[in-house]
Every structure is written in C-alpha cells, then in structure tokens.
Structure 1
C-alpha cells in the first residue's frame, strides 16, 4: 500500500515531465519571468510598433505645421510656344505725323532760335528769322527722314521663349489659421501618445491573461497528473482487494473508470496548455521563440490602497480620458479656426527672373508686393461650419462626462472583484484542509473494507476541485488586477504589485 508521500513524489516527477520533458528533443524550453515577457512584448509586439510609428508620423506633421510661419520659396521653369509672336504696330502713327514734319520742314516759318555759335552768341543771342527758319526746317526734315526710316512694327515677344524664375510667398496675416494648425498638430501628437499608453495597457492585460493563463494551465496539468497517479494507485489497491475477495467486481470497475477519466482529463489539460502557449507567443510576437515555461507564479496582493485614491488618480492618468480631453481641445481649436474664416489673408510675394531665352525685354526682371484675399460670401458655408463645430464641442463634452462615470463604475467593479478573490482564497484554504483530511479518511476506510470506490473517487475529485478553484481564484485576481491597473492609468505598476512582502504566491 502506497503512502501519500510516495504519491506526491510521483506527482512532482510527472509534473516536471509535463513541464519540460514533453518538449525534450523537439525544442529547447525557455524559462521566462513575467518581467521578461513584458519587456519582450514592449519591444516587438507589432501593435505597439505600429503605434510608435504613428507617433513619429504625428511628430513630423507637427514640425511641418511650424514651417507654415516661414516663407515658401520656389523655382519655376517655362518653355512656351505660341502660334504667332506678339507685336505692336504703330505704322498709323508714323503715317499721321510724317506729312506734318514734311510740311513744316518745307513751308514753316520760325523765329527766336538761340544762336548756337558761342563766338557770336554774345553779340547776337538769337538768330535772324531767315536763319531760324532754315535751322528749324533742317531739323524737321531730318526728323521726318528718321521717322520714315524707323521700324514702327515692333515685336514685343517671340513666338518661342523660355524662362526660369524664382518666387516667394510669405504669409503675413492669416487670421490665426497657421497658429491654429500648429495647435491642432500638437493636440493630435498628444492624442497619439495617449493612444500608445492605452495600447500598452490593453496589451498588458492581454499578456497577464495569457501568461498567467499558461501558468494556470500548467498547474492544472500538475493537478491532473496528481489525480491520475491517485486513481492509478486506487485502481491498484482495488485490484488487490478484489483478488482477496474484500470488494465486489463493481468496485473494481468503478476504480478503473475513474482512472480512465483522470487520464482523459490529463490529456485535455495538456492540449489546453498548447493552446495557451500559442496565444502567449502571439502576444510576445515571438514566432521563433522556444517553448516558453513561465517562471512567475500566480499571486495575490491584499495590500491595495483605498478605492477613492485610485479613482482620483485615474481621472488624471487614464489614457482614454486624456484622449477625450485632447480631442476637446482639438475641437475648440478647430472652432476658433472656423471663426477666423471671416478674416482676410495677407501675404508678401515676389518674383525674380533668373535665366531667360527670347523673353520679352519689356518685362521687368523682378517684382515684389503684398496681396490680400478676403472671402466676403461663400454660400453660408462658414456659418454652417461654425455651427457644426459647436455641436462637435457638445458631443465631446457629453462623451467626457459619460467616460468619467463609466471609469468610476468600472473601477468600483474591479476593486470589489479583487476583494472577492482575496476572500475566496482565504475560505478555500479551510475547505482544502477539510477535503485533504476527508480524502485520507476515505482511502484508509476503503483499504480496510469500510468504504466504497465511489467514496474514494469523490474524495480525490473534491481535493482536485478545491485546488483548481484556489488556482483559478488567484488567476482571476491577477487578471482583474491587470484591468484595474490599466483603467487606473498605471499599468506599469502591475509588476510592483506582483512583488513585495504582502504578496501570496501559489505553487504546487
């Protein structure tokens, strides 16, 4: 007849085989603490990596909005071909004034022309009428000849030309639109950072659920292994008693059925462990990881501060609340921008021709100026956009109020769940002591012929159930604690709560 100590020894050996030996020769197992798992998740989980890239995107967008205060400088090049050159034909003017010059140069009479000769100008300041007429007629006839010889059809621009020019545009006054764009980009950057914190919190709860779920699954395998060993020992004892005529065959069959049931449950528990391990690898994003063996244990930490302190801190630290507050600020910024649409936009501008080919010489090389654009009416769009932004402000305000109420209610729920699990743990300790004592009495009575196989199986099943409940209580506490820390806005404090003098861990 085997002793309880011998049974526990077999249990521990089989548990070790399940934890490590089942993967021996296939993949090397790796012990991984929860701290290590968390750091691994933070470094390589694709959801976090995507969120970090979004933060970088918002950071660059914020920097780009700051550049709106600076002038924009550009270089443009044009190559133009026209059907005909541009020209200015002044031939009618020539035809109109040529007869006048010819007539005056031939028949005109003039006087009072200044003496051009410095030697005689002092004696005769003005020429005689005859000399004055000759001098003026000569000049008029020369001018008439020049007019006739001149090109009165001037080409202003050739039909083909090319031009390279530099220009700038510098906003001077935009009605607060540039400042609003910068403030909006800063708010969106802060929203993305809070979104990262929220994602980290969600992944922490996922990691706790899967990591400690694997811990629970492995310990359930240990319990099922212990149960199988107990049922095999019971079946062996039942065989000996049946051979000695101390029990009926039905008792032997019952013990065999119990052994087969324990074996089936063990296989089921092992399959469940593989499922849990796959889920954990997905959270860790470690497809190339060896088989993970958790190094941390299920725990309970009864040292949780008063609920009011958690609620007060959560209203400042919860990332979802912070996102709503930033979105509220963003809505206010956009509302201000909508109001400023009624103001004009003023900008300085300039242009300088760098290089040209066959470009009109009559065009200036450079120009600078100031321009204004003021939309006076745009079909009531501004007014309706302003009203729409006011409704968005109200929506965010209501969402903030609802989120605050939900946050407090959820924290109260989780806090009481934590307290409930602590109470359940204490009550199950007493129940377990009674169940173990009852099992010992039932096995002893069966071996002496005073109890049935059913009694022994039920006693072992009860011990198994209580131990499983105790493990599940710790698991539910750990999961609830993770959600509590996430909702409170301090998911990183989970690790601190898993350690310390007040922490109660569970090992088999």
Structure 2
C-alpha cells in the first residue's frame, strides 16, 4: 500500500466516527445534502446580518420621530423687577398703592415638558448615501463568501466521495495481490518439498505473501477512514454505490477559458472586489465629515408643567452644523480609510495573480494525469501478460520466485497508479471548474456522469 498512500489516499479523513449502517447515495443526493451544512447556514446568517445593516443605513434617509421628556431646575425663579414702578408711586405720594405692587414671576424655577420631535436630514455631506453603499457592498461580499464556502464543500465532497471508490478499488487490488502471492507461496512450498526449488525461493515467496497481506490490511484501514470522512462531511451514514466508477474527463477545454473564467467569476475575487468597493464608499463617508450637516426640525409640545400659557404648541426650524476642530479625529479616520482602500486593492491584485497561477498548475496536473492514464492503459495489459508468463515459467522451473513476486508487485503498482491518476484527473478538473466560477456546470456534469453509468 506504499504506492497508493504516496498519492494521498491515506490523508482523506480527519475525524473518526462510530461504525453505523450504511446506505448507497448518489452524487446528486450527496450534493443536495451539502445545503444543510452548518457552514452554509452560517453564510446565510452572515448575509442576513449584512442585509440588516443595509436597512439600518437606508433608514437614515427618513425622518426621525422621537418623544422627549424634559425636566429643568433653575437656580431661582425668573421674575420681572417692578421696583422702579413702586418708586414712581412713592414719589407721587401714593405709598399705599406702591405697597400693593409686587415683582412678577414669569417662570418658576422648576418646570418641564413632553414634546414630539421630528428631525429630517436634508444634507449630510454624502455620508448617508456612502453608508448605504458600504452596506450594499457588504451584502455582495457576504454572498460571495457564502458561494466560496459552497465551492469548498463541493470540492471536498468530490475528493471524499470518489476517494471512497478509489480506496475500495485499491483494496480490491491489494486483496487480489495478497491472494495471488499466497497461492504462489503454496506453490513454492510444494515445489520445495519436491526438490525443484531452493529454500531461499520459498522464503522469498513467504516474505512477499506476508508483505502483501500487510498492505491489504493497510488498504482496508484506508477504506474505513475514507468512509468515515464522507460520513463526517454529509452527517449521514451513506456510501457511494458499489458499481460507481470514477468519472473521466473526456475533453479538456483550453487553458485560457479557465483563466478568463477565474478573472470574471471566481467567488473569492468577486468577494475582494466587493470589499474594495466597500472601502471606497467608506472613504467617501469619512470625507463627508468635512462638510456641513443640515437638518430640519419640528417640535410639538404635548404636555408641560410650570410653563407660561403663552408657551407655543409647536416650533419649526433648521440647523446647520459644521465642525471646525475635532483634535484631528477626521484626519486620522481619513488616513485609515485610504490605507484600508490601498490594502484591499493590493490584496485583490495579488489574489488575481495567485489564482491564475493556481489555474495553470491545476491544468498541467490534469494534463499529466490524463497522459499517465493513456500510458498506463497499455502498461496494464503488459503487466498482466508478464505476470501470467512468470507464473507459468515458475511452475515449469524456468523462472525464479523473485520473478513472480516482481511481476505481481509491478501489476499492483500499475493498477494503483492508474487509480491515482484517474482520481487526480477528476479532483483537478473539479478544482478548475470551481476556481473559474463554473460550480453549477460541475454539478450538472457530475450528475450526468453517474446517470450515464450502467
């Protein structure tokens, strides 16, 4: 099993789950089950939260209505001093009338009111509009992040789902090899008893049979782990159908199609583009803090106490506010916003280059796997013929035990290499489709490949 483990099949699982009853599940049903993934539900919640932010930002365009209850306590009552009037009467000799003239209290020191206040923003320097744009870009970024999560899950499903089939077929190869070498071992023991071969020939057969059995056990363990990995992903005890084959990529589109698709449709790049637009809108909002704010106000008095009867029932007005000095807070925020915009822009550019390189790497790996599949097709036939010939020659005493063992080992390696090449071609093709934003096309292709199998 060294060869197959070298191709990464032993890395197919991270979690071990209890054994449970299994039922066959098609790739279409498996993809449908991904919709219930907690990671996708978390993405849906993030989108909903972003939509809530947009609603809150858009609401700032509308008038605000509030109830205001106010209570005041002055240091003393507000009075009108009538001392000059009293003095005038005294000067005229009318002291009795002057004594009856007291100061007038026009406002007691303790008073309050209950008012309804309407505030309508007429101009805010573009900050409200920029805030809405920030929120809308946040929604777009959340949606693309959710799409990227779905693509990651779909690629992982392809790896684990068909990884089970590869591990199953690898076990079949190792089982056949172990069975063949056990048969060779028995044959060698029989020939040794008859004196036709030396003891060392029989010992070689024993060692090879034991090694083949060990690798069969490893392959069996790898299959168990691959099944557990798929169960963990789908949260269900379901396995691929036993007759399922590994889909083959018959025709490979040109590289440029994948590169162009990545530039235009890659979910992570679209998420970064939305984040960049969000940063641009945030910069505009900060710049708006340097401009004046104009609000219309309307106040309706609902109730009051200790206020004069002449107090108005309603008041209307406009306010203009222009901050002149804030200790450099606006300058600092603008510096931060510009730096954030530069950071996002550079991150997008680097990500674009990285994805183009990734596409080229995946494409060449897929081409290499396809070339290996074509080469191994003839090699499989030759290895089968060689094994048959070496077994026959050994039985006739004209071949060594090591020759049979080498032929059997070569046959197993060729079959395992073919399995690995087909698995590599499939997973690289799936990665290419997803990184270039062709997730729906990949799902449709996977469903059609299974439907077309006998």
Question: In the alignment, which residue of structure 1 is the partner of 2:125?
Answer: 175
Name the CA shift for 1:499/1:355 in 2 (closer, same or farther; >3 Å). Answer: closer
Structure 2 vs 1, CA of residues 496 and 233 (structure 1 numbering), >3 Å: closer, same or farther? same
Partner of residue 305, structure 1: 253
- Residues of 1 paired with 2:421 and 2:176: CA distance? 20
Q: Note closer, same or farther for the CA distance 1:502–1:417 as it changes in structure 2 (3 Å cut).
A: farther
8 Å contact kept, 1:214–1:276: yes
Give the corresponding residue for 1:156: 107
Which of the numbers 21, 33, 58 marks the counterpart of 1:28?
21
Mapped partners of 2:317, 2:416: distance in 1: 83
TM-score normalized by structure 2? 0.86
Q: Please give the alpha-carbon distance, in whole angstroms, between the structure 1 residues aligned to 2:33 and 2:113.
A: 59
How far 1:216 moved relative to its partner?
Answer: 1.4
Give the corresponding residue for 2:3: none
Partner Cα distance (2:409, 2:307) in 1: 101
Q: Does 1:68 align with 2:60?
A: yes
Distance of 1:335 and 1:79 partners within structure 2:
41
Query: How far off is 1:359 after superposition?
Result: 5.1
| 1:492 Cα deviation after fit | 2.7
**Counterpart for residue 10 of structure 2:** none
SS in 2 for 1:299: coil
Question: Which of 381, 398, 401 is the aligned partner of 1:450?
Answer: 398
How far 1:391 sits from its partner (Å)? 4.3
Q: 1:153 and 1:359, CA in 2 relative to 1: closer, same or farther beyond 3 A?
A: closer
Matches within 5 A, 1:413-428: 413-428=361-376
Structure 1: give runs of 5+ residues left out of the alignment: 1-25, 106-140
1:322 pairs with 2:314: no
CA 1:184–1:315: 2 relative to 1, 3 Å: same
Matched, 1:229 2:229: no
| Distance in 2 (alpha carbons) for counterparts of 1:359 and 1:225 | 99
Asked if the contact 1:299/1:504 (under 8 Å) is kept, the reply is no
The corresponding residue for 2:222 is 272
CA 1:408–1:502: 2 relative to 1, 3 Å? farther
Residue range with higher mean Cα deviation, 395-404 or 321-330: 395-404
Q: 1:370 to 1:329 in 2, by over 3 A?
A: same
Shift of 1:396: 3.6
- Does 453-462 or 420-429 show the bigger shift? 453-462
- Checking the alignment, whether the CA contact within 8 Å between 1:303 and 1:502 is kept in structure 2 is no
| Deviation digits for residues 15-60 of structure 1 (CA, Å, limit 9, x no counterpart) | xxxxxxxxxxx6321112222222211x222221111110111111
Structure 2 residue aligned with 1:406: 354
Q: 1:363: how far off?
A: 4.1
Residue 340 (str. 1) matches residue 340 (str. 2): no
Whole-Å separation in 1 of the counterparts to 2:366 and 2:310: 87
Match of residue 95, structure 1, among 73, 76, 86: 86
CA distance in 2, matches of 1:325, 1:85: 63
Matched pairs, number: 436
Q: 2:258 touches 2:433 (CA, 8 Å); kept in 1?
A: no
Q: Answer yes or no: is the 8 Å Cα contact 1:302–1:422 preserved in 2.
A: no
What is the root-mean-square deviation of aligned Cα atoms in Å? 3.0
1: distance between equivalents of 2:289 and 2:338?
Answer: 15
Match of 1:17 in 2: none
2:32 to 11, 36, 39: 39
Contact 1:29–1:293 under 8 Å retained in 2: no
Mapped to 1, the partners of 2:325 and 2:70 lie a distance apart of 35
- Give me the whole-angstrom Cα distance separating, in 1, the residues matched to 2:443 and 2:381: 31
Aligned to 2:152: 202
